[in-house]
Structure 1
Amino acid sequence: MSKGGKWWKAAAGMAAAVVALQVAVSALVRTGRMHAYLTAHLERAFGRPVQVGSFGAHIFPRLQLYANEVTVGEDPAFGYEYFLRAEHLSAGLRWSGLLRGHFEFGTLSFSRPSLILVRSSRGQWNLERWLPPAKSVSAQTPPIYGPPSPAPPVNRLQRIKFDEGRVNFKMEDEKLPFAFTGVSGSVEQVSLGRWELQLEAQPWRSGVLLQSTGTIQVRGDLAGTSARLQPAQITLQWSEASLADVFRLVHGQDYGVRGLFTLDATAKSAAAAEDGPGEWTYAVEARAGRIHRWDLTERADNPALNVDVSGRWDPGTGTLLAEQFAVEGLGSNLRGKFRFTSESRAATEFRLDSMGLQGSDLLAWYRSFHPDAAEGITAEQYFTGGMILRGWPLSVESAALASNGGTVKVPGLVEPIRIGPVNGGRERSNLVIGPVRLAFGEEPREVIAPKRRRVPLAMDNTADLTFTQNLKTGAGGISIEGNISKVENFLKLAAAMGRQVNHGWELTGQATAVTQWAWQEPFKGRWNGFVGINRGSLTVAGLNQPLNLGEASLGWSDGRRTARLLRVEGFGGNWMGGIEEKPKTDDQTPPNWKFDLNVDHLNAAELDRWVGPRSRPNWLQRLLQSFLREVTPTTSASGLVRRVDAEGRLRISRLTIEKLKLENVAAQGSLRDLKLDVPESVAEWAGGLVRAKINARFLPNPVYEVRAELDRINLAKLPGTARLADRLSGVASGNLEVKTEGVGREELLKNLDGSGTVKLKKIEMRGLDLPASVADGAARSGISRWPAGECAFLVRHRSIVLQWLQLHDPLEQTSVEGTLSFDSNAELTVSTQPLETGKAKPKKASAKGHVLKISGPLEGLHLTVEKAPEPQVAN
């Protein structure tokens, strides 16, 4: 046989032997006895109970053991949930160990493992008891409760690999929402008792939506748990994380901050002490950039922060010391120290040794979190200071802040705003900053707080700001006192800073302010004080003309707003009075207003010039949006009126509605939920009094109802009787009810409908003797007198319809029927009958055989006499 044939047969034999051996090994590891044998060796390797679904093995290309559905049990002292679970486990076996009769694992590889780290109530982790305990245990060490742990393992693991793993955390029986996912890497024993880490993971938190948590990489080497991981040196890097997700991970909620976050940290420790863990030294560098509010566009000038902290940590005593920390911005920095001891929290100390803040940095931070800040604003000022906080919780022991002043330039303002020197710090139990003077266009003089403050009126285009905070009670406030000759400059400043005060209105004139924003709890402040306006002008969207503010003020009392009108001209009259916001029952209800206003004259025609033409669309929306700032431009007019909740009193010296002239009008009413209710109103009209109740509903279609009582009305002063004033006299009293609906003068007059009854006294008509004219069948001059009379009428079709009008004298009664139009045209019929006792009846045919016809305009009536028809009762 040739030499080649011999080699071929040998190779074939070896291959057959390997295949046979592979089949034999695979069958062997599936037997129950070998399953128990391998499980026992895994339990010795892990030091915990192990359950395996099935085993498999390969001998080529290298000896490898496989396990499916692996579960490593937990130490009973830490609960009864699993410690480690993996879908697959592969372990390399060492031929050298097998040849010597030992079963030794090489590299352990976990596929999709899940590890639960548990911390007990005594501050111990289940990981600490995985491997043998420390070299010696002090007698004072508190005992471990629960069943005894399994025998210490004696394995010699060289390398552990992870792929797509997960690490969960528990505090006793409470499962924490925080975890690591996508854990991959390796832990390798580089020398006896020394391990090298190379891990990578993504942080995760349940219950929140995370988008970009970044990747955490851990590199380093450390001792085993038998030496409490010491000595060790670990480097951690967290990169490409969203700042929003960082807050979601830490606190479980979104604070509306966007930006990028990176973190680099190193920790190093010496060997562990005999009776406890040793001390660690650490250094942390955190960087955040492109910081801005979630709904604002990212800008090139968005601020950035670098935080560097270095110090020592002693886990045995619970002491954390930051020997140096620094917070740096583009042109600002904070530097100091920090010390914390868990056993003596009262000794906690935070020292801010130096502080330097650039005004431009503060402006950049403001712009990143406040929309609508104008482009071109610049701030030039530098602040210095320091602070010491001690105790737990931290409290201010000493503080100081100072600045030499600066300037702020705002687009739209010719002169810059100058800021005077700033000085502040702790004064007894208060933190006080200021007074700080702000001046519009002038060099500010240094402000020294005197015992008695100067009157703001004596100040000229300046304001003093003072901040106070009681460090014991938490109460504080910011007070503002000042005077400005052009209040429009302040409105421009507020708008440029994105805090527009005027929504749909413009104000000019001189303003004086004495106000304070005070709080009992931080960020829950309320306003107190007043702002006075003199020689001002208020232009409001929806009004065609400006209001002249001779003297007016807006005040606050514990957050409730009040307005005082001393000399205000508008709507054709001069106004005085006040408007006050009533206390709220809760924060959800709209504000309720109470008013008491007086005006010398109002004219409907003048009002039409202010708000007309009435058909102009959306004027009501624009008018109310000027005063109700918490609305959107799409809010309907009815929605805006529904927000109005007001009640009070209105007095009008003279009210003119076309030909209707009222004097000394006083009305008490309310406007609430789209309903106007005036239960009481009184006015002088035509020499008498009118008392009325008015109700109106504004949805779905405006409807108005008026019920009036007339008392001693002079007939000669009625509208439309001006040319008859010297020929007609008498007094009328009675009741009137009218109702109408619609929008606009024409529609209201068209839909006007009503009725009324009146009693007449001392009626006299000079120039015409009506009874004689009816009796003779021709007009007769003279005087007509009736001691009394009664009338019932209807209001419809733009006219007054006389149902019956009876005038009584001692011998006979005169009856009148017909219509009087709103255009002062008359169509009347006059007849006479003998006096009937008892209640007045509707008109009957004239007993004299004639009737008098009166027609035409009231200024030039036309009289005719006709023969009376046959007697009949008029319905």
Structure 2
Amino acid sequence: MRGSFRRYTRWFIAWASLVALGGWLLPPLVNVERYRRRLKSELEQELGRPVDFGAVSVRLLPRPGFSIQNAAIGEAPGFGDEPFARIERIECDVRWRSLWQSRLSFDRLRLEHASFNLVRRPEGGWNLASLIGREAPARGGTAAGSPPADAGGPLRLESEGARLDFKIGADKKPFAVINVAARLDLDFTRGNVNFRLAGEPIRTDMSLPTPGRVELEGEWTPGEKLSGPLAATLRTEGALLYDWIPLLTGRNPDLYGVLDLQADLRGSIYSFQFEGRGTLRQLHRSELPPPADAMPATLYARGQFDARERGRVVVESADASFRDSILHSSGNVEQVFSAPQMDLVVAVEHSRLEDFFQLARRFASGAGAAGLSGRLDGLVTVRGPWREPRLGGFFKAQQPRFIAGGTTFPMSDLDLRVNETGIRLAPVRVMVAPRVELVAEAVFRPPAPPTMRSKQISAPSPPSAGEPHAFGLRGLQYDLALSAKAVPVSDLVRFSRSLGIRAAREVDAQGIATASFGLTGKVWPITPPAWHGQAELRGTRLFLPGLTEPLHLPHARLEISENRIVVDPVTAVIGTSVFTGRLEHQGGRSVPWTFNAHTSQLSLEQSALWFDVLGHRPPLPLLARIPGIRSLLEQRTAASSLFAGLNASGRFSVATLTYPSVTLTNVVASAAVSGRTVQLGVESFRAGGGRGAGDIRVDLTAS
């Protein structure tokens, strides 16, 4: 028994070795040229297209078939002269049973490094219809372009490293899909296609990388004109929003985000229902560093698409939820493929204002640590072209709070109105301190012509009826007005410290201020605002680090116009000296301030006592600096920082300048202070009946 088993085993191994040896040795001996015409005919029958190719080789193992080099599959009539596909190599697997029949039948065609042209005629119809839309032959005859019944069985098409290009008639579109891996199982008898496609979309007219890999799989019964039932699933993971938006719209809004998405499609390729879910994380402006919090948002959409109605999308429900807030929208989008027209409603219900404020901070540089909190509700309609929509609706925030520097400031309710000409924020009051309020109101509007711009500083007003009634986000501007009447300066200083303003941390003040300022800037991309306005100080005392006694400002008036600041007039009293003059600054931070000051008398001996750095008098006791009580170390650090930051030049005049034994009159000098260095140029003075001039340079960098 055991001997018989061993004998059969040896015979089996011997036959298997002979078959393997024959499969390796025989193919090179076969004259394949005699099969070229037959192979070409069979491929054209399977594909329903003209086929041309180069060298052909035969293989027997692991399955009998042919290897074809440099093949070109012709285009169907009416779709142009460019080939439907160019293929570097085709591996054709022949069905075993067809070897004993009158014709060859292929079980699988594997296409390597293929390039396909998907063409749609302007009047409708795709070139794919003649390939995957063929039906099985009827009894008693053979349908044109269909395989005969005796060759039946499905055909599998596989492709690796392929490329898909798209054309409308003769117009080649700038969209393509590269690195395509595809598998199509075509059952001509049932008229059914099972497919699985994966590739990376690109746009050829923009130098952008692919946004990520997209997969599409499902089942399709194309039927006549490819209008048969379709059930498919579309998914992508780790897709980059920075590349997806320019790919679809041709514009780059500089947004970064990572998208995971899966959508189910049911219907036909011309009309289907969709339902999708996804997650968007790390959303922020691309030129800003990524936030520490990914702030993931959950996305959901359900609706219908109909290509036969000029590309119509019905959004039954679309939600975006993040943290404890949610955005809901519904409506229609018409003419999706040409000039999208929107008719949508966007609603916010029982959401948190702080969530939206944190979201907005991801698109603004230097937003600081300030924030808003409260409950937010709203409803906005979006109509018209998607590039310049018309908006209408409202947003309301109840029990809002302004949070800055760990301090919470109560506010009145926020009321934001949206109409076709802009967005207006009704006056809102911020309680800076008990019985002290700051009033703010704002308008978001399309940019006005430069010649029409008003320089008057007042509460912003909505655009006139003659201005455009539609605006896009990129052209939108904001105008914010801030006003305060008879407010204690000490409360304003504390409020400024909460906002993180560095200069406010280094000074203390007492007095009364009245101010009105306007801020103007772009909504997208968000830019630092241009300031306009004025402020008036009365009875103010400034406690500046580095000075041994307070600086009194009986009266000072400040005006700001974009990058120009003017303090005129200003009256300052320190010790027994009274200074009057003017300060001005225009340009960037590196540009020095200019000044012009005058005093009737000045004692150098007394003025030397004003500065800590000279060491002639102990600094002002801490308790005398109320409301600003800080440690000696903080004072010294602040004084050093403030003095090192001085950058000014100008002229001053003194009617009488005294020193213990010297008196100078009609002193006129120029001064420049920069980097802890003081340069004085005394242009003229009188002393003892004579005239004089001189230069003085004081270097305090080592002190």
Check conservation: 2:79, 2:121, Cα contact below 8 A: no
Structure-2 separation of matches of 1:249 and 1:79: 26
Residue of structure 1 equivalent to 2:396: 402
1:267-666 alignment to 2 at 5 Å? 267-270=265-268, 278-291=270-283, 299=292, 302-316=294-308, 317-342=310-335, 348-365=342-359, 380-392=373-385, 393-411=387-405, 413=407, 416-426=408-418, 429-442=421-434, 460-470=435-445, 472-473=467-468, 476-483=478-485, 485=487, 487=489, 500-502=501-503, 505-509=506-510, 510-518=512-520, 525-538=529-542, 547-564=551-568, 566-569=570-573, 573-582=577-586, 591=591, 594-602=594-602, 606=607, 610=611, 612-613=613-614, 622-623=641-642, 626=645, 649-656=651-658, 661-666=663-668
SS at match of 2:503: coil
Q: Counterpart of 1:161?
A: 158
| Change in 2 beyond 3 A, CA 1:43/1:600 | farther
Task: Decide whether the 8 Å contact of 2:23 with 2:59 is kept in 1.
Answer: no
State the distance in 1 between where 2:555 and 2:368 align. Answer: 32
The residue type paired with residue 568 of structure 1 is A
CA distance in 1, matches of 2:504, 2:645: 5
Identify which range, 337-346 or 478-487, moves more after superposition.
337-346
8 Å CA contact 1:259, 1:292 repeated in 2:
yes
For the 8 Å contact 1:504–1:540, the answer to whether it is kept is no
**What residue is the counterpart of 2:626 in the other structure?**
none
Instruction: Output the CA distance in 2 between the equivalents of 1:468 and 1:120.
Output: 47
Inter-CA distance 286–479: structure 2 relative to 1 (3 Å threshold): same
Query: 1:417 Cα deviation (Å)?
Result: 0.7
More relative contact order in 1 or in 2 (CA 8 Å, sep 6+)? 2
Q: Tell me if structure 2 keeps the 8 A contact 1:480–1:514.
A: yes
The residue matched to 1:184 in structure 2 has which SS?
A: strand
Q: How far apart are the structure 2 equivalents of 1:9 and 1:93?
A: 28
**What is the alpha-carbon distance in structure 2 between the residues aligned to residue 654 and residue 74 of structure 1?**
100
Instruction: After TM superposition, give the deviation of residue 551 of structure 1 in Å.
Output: 3.5
Structure 1 segment 708-747 matched on structure 2, within 5 A? 743=699
Structure 1: distance between partners of 2:577 and 2:37: 104
Alpha-carbon spacing, 1:405–1:740, altered in 2? closer, same or farther (3 Å): closer
Relative distance call for 1:64 and 1:347 in structure 2 (3 A) is closer
Change (3 A) 1:40 1:581: farther
Task: Within 5 Å, give how 1:702-781 maps onto structure 2.
Answer: 743=699
**What displacement does 1:311 show?**
1.8
Give RMSD over aligned pairs.
5.1
Cα distance, 1:535 vs structure 2: 4.6
Residue 131 of structure 2 is aligned to residue 131 of structure 1: yes
Change (3 A) 1:532 1:55: farther
Distance apart, 1:382 and its partner CA: 0.9
Report the secondary structure of 2:376's partner residue. strand
2:490 and 2:75 mapped to 1: Cα distance? Answer: 73
Aligned residue number for residue 115 of structure 1: 115
Deviation of 1:687 (Å): 3.7
Partner-residue secondary structure (3-state), 1:517: strand
What is the Cα deviation at residue 381 of structure 1?
A: 0.9
Q: Distance in 2 between matches of 1:426 and 1:47?
A: 58
Matched position secondary structure for 1:103: coil
Report the 3-state secondary structure (helix = DSSP H, G, I; strand = E; otherwise coil) of the residue aligned with 1:303. coil
Q: Is the 8 A contact 2:302 2:318 kept in 1?
A: yes
Identity of aligned residues (%): 17
CA distance in 2, matches of 1:195, 1:607: 94
Shift of 1:296: 5.2
Q: 1:568 to 1:420 in 2, by over 3 A?
A: same
User: How many Å separate the matches in 2 of 1:371 and 1:92?
Assistant: 61
| TM superposition score normalised by structure 2 | 0.72
Pair 1:289–1:132, CA change in 2 (3 A): closer
Q: Say whether the 8 Å CA contact 2:644–2:676 is kept in structure 1.
A: no
What is the TM-score normalised by the length of structure 1? 0.59
Aligned match for 2:237, one of 227, 236, 239: 239
Asked if the contact 2:391–2:420 (Cα under 8 Å) also holds between the matched residues in 1, the reply is no
**Residue type at the aligned position of 2:90:** L
Asked whether the 8 Å contact 2:125–2:225 carries over to 1, the reply is no
Could you tell me which runs of 5 or more consecutive residues in structure 2 were left unpaired when the two chains were aligned.
Answer: 136-142, 148-152, 447-466, 469-475, 616-635
CA apart distance, 1:92? 1.4
- Helix, strand or coil at the partner of 2:97: helix
**What amino acid is the match of 1:420?**
S
Q: CA deviation at 1:486?
A: 5.5
1:197 is aligned to 195
Superposition map of 1:84-103 within 5 A: 84-103=85-104
Q: Secondary structure at the match of 1:102?
A: coil
Contact 1:128 1:225 in 2 (8 A): no
The one-letter code of the counterpart of 1:599 is T
Q: CA deviation at 1:240?
A: 3.4
Q: Secondary structure at the match of 1:62?
A: coil
User: Distance in 1 between the 2:51 and 2:172 partners?
Assistant: 24
Give the secondary-structure state (helix, strand or coil) at the position aligned to 2:104: coil
* Residue correspondence of structure 1 range 254-269 to structure 2 within 5 A: 260-269=258-267
Q: State the partner residue of 1:872.
A: none
Alpha-carbon contact 1:70-1:89 (below 8 Å) kept: yes
Deviation at 1:401, TM superposition (A): 2.1
Q: 1:245 to 1:662 in 2, by over 3 A?
A: farther
Q: Return closer, same or farther for 1:537/1:166 CA change in 2, 3 Å cut-off.
A: farther
Which residue identity does 1:184 align to in structure 2?
A
Provide the residue aligned with 1:188 in structure 2: 185
Query: Out of 213, 216, 219, which is 1:218 matched to?
Result: 216
Q: Distance in 1 between matches of 2:295 and 2:395?
A: 23
SS at match of 2:61: coil
Question: 2:455 maps to which residue?
Answer: none
Q: Which runs of 5+ in 1 are unaligned?
A: 136-150, 271-276, 443-459, 628-640, 693-705, 707-738, 746-875
Matched residues in 1 for 2:372 and 2:75: separation? 61
Distance 1:621 1:108, change over 3 A: farther
Q: 1:607 to 1:355 in 2, by over 3 A?
A: farther
The residue identity in structure 2 corresponding to 1:514 is S
Q: List per-residue Cα deviations over 1:400-456 (Å, max 9, x = no partner).
A: 22233233455554xx311112223247845322111111355xxxxxxxxxxxxxx
Post-superposition shift, 1:222? 1.8
State the 1:465 CA deviation.
1.1
Worse-superposed segment, 381-390 or 566-575: 566-575
SS of the residue aligned with 1:338? strand
Q: Distance in 2 between matches of 1:662 and 1:101?
A: 125
Sort the Cα spacing of 1:192 and 1:462 in 2 relative to 1 into closer, same or farther, 3 A.
same
1:263 Cα shift?
0.9
Q: 2: distance between equivalents of 1:381 and 1:293?
A: 25
User: By how many angstroms is 1:493 displaced?
Assistant: 5.2
Equivalence for 2:450:
none
Q: Determine the C-alpha separation between the residues in 1 that align with 2:120 and 2:509.
A: 69
